DNA sequence: TAGATTGTTAATCGATTAACAATC
DNA sequence: TAGATTGTTAATCGATTAACAATC
């Protein structure tokens, strides 16, 4: 593969937003857009949009703008949305069940294929046709099915061991919802969703207004 | 209140993490910590920790370090965790129910007091002692109970109108889980949790490894 | 006192914005 | 061709890291 200079995560985290806006334009039947028009919709600078996109090559055309469908599909490729991922959920509590019921990940190539828990009351239950299995069966399942991503919605006391095991079984990514930081070999990619951090940040913003 | 220079959101978003680590140290009975020790645990630079904290005043003592309990409580104050917030959940689907069942927000002062939905099958149901009400009753409820925060877990087609209404009824903060950007008057604070963005970012990270 | 570690200034690094030549 | 808009370089801005004097 061609050697490219390291793209910053700040740029990467903006791509899904571009992708979403382009998807909406696509649905509306819009077929071209300029960086300025998009910048106004998204409330960012046109310069940033052009800089971000040019990290990956030239997707536009001078004097014209960007073809919506093409740009949309190119961003999908950059993010890896042109591929399929096999996912399992570990921990089928409230949040695990909610995520299991989410159909919308499927259409982006994220396929839920397994559910695991320790709770005998949950084991055997099915969500969207997927049976909850005992966590003892997880090693075999992950290895046999070549699972790419594990969604971790287990209590924080359990997550470290589970994550380390999954890493040793060759998982590629962990989507971690526990309020814990995982330190694992660099082959395993980690994306944290710290809901409590997000809520605390909201509390700060609410009070910040008082100081103005 | 004293006029302070604007603190960047980058700093604010690190505070909940400091707060979490300090809470863990507190539970372990550790009573002091230096920026260097904390930096090693958290995998950040000591310099950053000191810079971050000094945005809000001097919490440490030369030659000693930081008192864990004191620093923990000071960060809580900065974030506004010394206050109480009344919250409602709008949209009691899978994710709304999961969040409603989360007990852990309560102990940080975030009190869930209302649940709203349009679905007649959900209306009348109770979660943790809170009855799901018809969304028609929301205006009166928000105004009478002076609700601070609304958790938005409604379909994306509904969220814009609901958010605008809540804003006009004096809500202070919106915790938005819909894949939509809300543009509202600046009195209303918005914190987005875009799960799909997070998952796409994980996909990128997984594939990025291939280029190394 | 000597040692340790903060608070804070200065240096570096990186990200964003502005500007404009290239070109469709 | 003239007008529009990209791609890209340069300028600015902000955030992080390093260094060290202050001080407990």
pLDDT tens, residue by residue, B146-155: 999 999 999 9
pLDDT for res B6: 86
CATH assignment at residue A143: 3.40.50.720
Angle in degrees, 0-180, between the axes of helices A9-27 and A35-42, rounded to the nearest 10: 100
Chain A residue numbers touching B16 (CB-CB < 8 A): 194, 196-197, 200-201
Q: Which of B105, B191, B205 sits opposite A189 (nearest CB)?
A: B205
Question: What pLDDT sits at residue A210?
Answer: 55
Q: Do A73 and A100 belong together in one domain? A: no
Span B198-209, average pLDDT? 93
Closest by CA position to A205, among listed B13, B209, B71:
B13
Residues B138 and B116 in one domain: yes
pLDDT recorded at residue B103: 83
The token duo for B190 is 């918005």
H or E stretch at A88: strand A85-90
Interface contact B179, partner A, CB < 8 A: yes
Which A residues, 103 through 162, put their C-beta within 8 Å of a C-beta on chain B?
Answer: 104-105, 108, 110, 148-149
Q: Which of A53, A79, A105 is the last residue of a domain?
A: A79
Same domain, B92 and B71: no
* A146 and A57 together in one domain: no
Cβ neighbour number for residue B55 with a 10 Å cutoff: 15
Please give the tally of structural domains in chain B. Answer: 2
Q: Which H/E stretch holds residue B67? A: strand B65-67
Same structural domain, B64 and B106: no
Closest Cα in chain A, distance from residue B138 (Å): 21
Asked if the structure places residue A32 within a domain, the reply is yes
Nucleotides of C under 7 A from a protein CB: 2-9, 14-19, 22-24
Last residue of a domain, one of B79, B109, B139: B79
Pairing outcome for strands B60-61 and B32-33: unpaired
Q: Are A114 and A129 in contact (CB under 8 A)?
A: no
Asked, for residue B21, whether it belongs to a domain, the answer is: yes
Domain span at residue A13 reads 9-79
- My answer on whether B191 and B93 are in the same domain is yes
Q: Is the pLDDT of residue B8 over 50?
A: yes
Give the Cα separation of A34 and A25 in Å (integer): 12
Distance B53 CA to C12 C1' (A): 21
Strand partners, A189: A173
| Residue pLDDT, tens place only, B90-145 | 999 999 999 999 888 999 999 999 999 999 999 999 999 999 999 999 999 999 99
Residue B32 is encoded by which pair of tokens? 């002091």
Mutate to test the interface with B, among A75, A94, A195, A200 (most CBs of B within 10 A): A200
Q: Does one domain contain both B115 and B159?
A: yes
For residue B210, the model assigns a pLDDT of 54
Distance in Å, alpha carbon of B91 to nearest chain A alpha carbon: 13
Same domain, yes or no: A73 and A112: no
Residues A58 and A16 in one domain: yes
pLDDT for A212 equals 40
Cross-chain residue pair A199–B95, CB shorter than 8 Å: no
User: How much is the pTM?
Assistant: 0.95
Tokens of A52: 């971000």
In a domain, A210, yes or no: no
pLDDT along chain A (212 residues), means of 10: 69 98 97 97 98 94 96 97 98 97 92 98 96 98 98 97 98 98 96 98 87 44
Long-range contacts of A23-30 (CB under 8 A, 24+ apart): A23/A72, A25/A68, A26/A68, A26/A69, A26/A72, A30/A68
Is A98 within 8 Å of B94 when comparing Cβ atoms?
yes
Measure the CA–CA gap between B166 and B2, rounded to whole angstroms: 31
């Amino acid at each position: 593969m061609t050697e490219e200079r390291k793209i910053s995560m700040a740029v990467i985290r903006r791509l899904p937003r571009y992708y979403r806006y382009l998807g909406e334009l696509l649905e509306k039947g819009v077929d071209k857009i300029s960086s300025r028009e998009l910048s106004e919709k998204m409330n960012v600078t046109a310069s940033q949009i052009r800089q971000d996109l040019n990290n990956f090559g030239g997707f536009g055309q001078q004097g014209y703008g960007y073809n919506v469908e093409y740009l949309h599909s190119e961003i999908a490729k950059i993010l890896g949305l042109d591929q399929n991922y096999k996912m399992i959920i570990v921990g089928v509590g409230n949040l695990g069940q909610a995520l299991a019921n989410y159909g919308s990940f499927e259409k982006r190539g994220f396929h839920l294929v397994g559910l695991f828990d320790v709770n005998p009351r949950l084991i055997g239950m099915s969500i969207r046709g997927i049976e909850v299995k005992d966590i003892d069966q997880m090693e075999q399942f992950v290895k046999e099915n070549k699972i790419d991503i594990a969604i971790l919605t287990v209590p924080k006391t359990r997550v470290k061991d589970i994550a380390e095991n999954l890493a040793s079984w060759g998982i590629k990514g962990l989507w971690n919802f526990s309020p814990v930081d995982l330190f694992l070999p660099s082959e395993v990619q980690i994306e944290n969703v710290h809901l409590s951090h997000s809520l605390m940040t909201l509390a700060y913003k609410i009070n910040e207004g008082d100081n103005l």
